[in-house]
Copies of this chain bind each other. A is one copy, B any other.
Amino acid sequence: MRIQRIDDNNSISEVLAALLKRSPNNYGEYEQVVAEILADVKENKDQALFAYTEKFDKAQIQAGTIQVKDAEIAEAYEQTSPELIAIIRKAKENILDFHGKQKQNSWIDTKENGSMLGQKVTPLDRVGVYVPGGKAVYPSSVLMNVLPAKVAGVGEIVMTTPPGPDGKISPHTLVAAKEAGVDVIYKAGGAQAIAALAYGTESIPKVDKIVGPGNIFVALAKKAVYGHVNIDAIAGPSEILVLADESANPRFIAADLLSQAEHDELASAILVTTDEGLAEAVSIEVDRFIEVLPRREIIQKSIDNYGYILLAKNEEQAIHIANEIASEHLEIMTKRPYETMTKIRHAGAIFIGDYASEPLGDYFAGPNHVLPTNGTAKFFSPLGVDDFIKKSSIIGYSKEALREVYKDIEKFAMAEELSAHANSVTVRFEEEE
């Protein structure tokens, strides 16, 4: 694995530019195709949805078969090992526990003149969770997308996922959905599923928000319907950045870098360190692991394209690089990792110490594994309960409270030349004038 010495800001910029090439914002070429699918499903509803399912998923789905039946879920349980079901349930408990701590309360603030200001928190009515199909089946992703909505108290959670050519859904996906408490599962995928969730069809109800990962067509479709419904952040390829000093274990670091690199060829794995010895040791361990790991072809490409060992001049520069890259996953393996953490401004999830390996967060610890990628940790947050609630301001004023301020409001409104605004407070005291 290549080692690159960072001497100035310029070489950081080059790394950043290389990483940004992976952005899902660079796929404008498919926008027109997606726009056509969206328009077609919006207008022709189920008919268009079923036609696209036949075209793209090679599956014959109709109104009577689009909704997964109880018998199919029962069958999925039979096809899943009791051991995996037990692990899914343990992970579920941890995820519920962590997300339960994210719940926000409505609040009010009262004054004795009869005024009351506050904020009311309400869960969304209906949420759609998109789950990708194909060969890669990630029950953990179902848990991570559905459970925060459950904790928030969402009224109805529907899931869509593309069927195989046999019209079936992977048993692990169905088991995870059932365990997480999904209300209805529909066999639909791609941009056509996003359109169905955004606009509603005869079979699939319109939702208020769509979450969940997907390919570029799904991502573009979500962006296109944003505003009509809400969506989660647009997901890009996965990434890890390890910030380590000479106290770190190179074998642990190498294993963790590769755990991200195996996701896909666009995944990125970066070590930033001030210690040249560690840099070299990690490079050697990476090469050793690649030889024995089953997904070595994907890993090798990902490491060749987006893998870096960056040698920083000092700790300050190392932290600066980590903040500039704003990695989805950041592992800190320094002598005083909690102290280092206080200096981190931008990361999706921060893993602290030698034993907080990244897959712990993917599967089990409880925090969400749906995290901002590709530098968007500078402005996006992990998926969480916040994504499934919304707030309303509360403004209650007595006559006495309004009397104290209405002249100011009149004048402010008139300064903006909005006389009907002024009139709306004036009228309340016209008898006193």
Contact = CB atoms under 8 A, between A and B. Distances in A.
Interface of A is mostly: mixed
B360 A209 contact: no
Contacts of A30: none
Interface in A9-42: 23-25, 28, 35
Given A299-B420, A402-B360, A405-B364, A412 B91 contact: yes
A386 B88 CA distance: 32
A351 to B, nearest CB: 5
Contacts of A426: 255
Contact of A208 (B116, B233, B379, B424): B379
Interface stretch (A133-141, A271-279, A306-314): A133-141
Interface string A402-433: 10010011011101111111111111100000
A335 to B, nearest CB: 15
A42 to B, nearest CB: 11
A344 interface: yes
A423 B258 CA distance: 9
A338 interface: yes
Interface string A88-129: 101100000010011010010100000111011010110000
A356 B424 CA distance: 10
Interface stretch (A69-77, A183-191, A221-229): A221-229
Contacts of A361: 393, 395
Contacts of A421: 259, 262, 359, 362-363
A357 B424 contact: yes
A35 B32 CA distance: 13
A245 interface: no
A419 B298 CA distance: 12
A30 B99 CA distance: 41
Nearest to A90: B408
B87 A411 contact: yes
A371 interface: yes
Contacts of A399: 354-355
A321 interface: no
Interface in A270-301: 289, 293-295, 299
Nearest to A365: B395
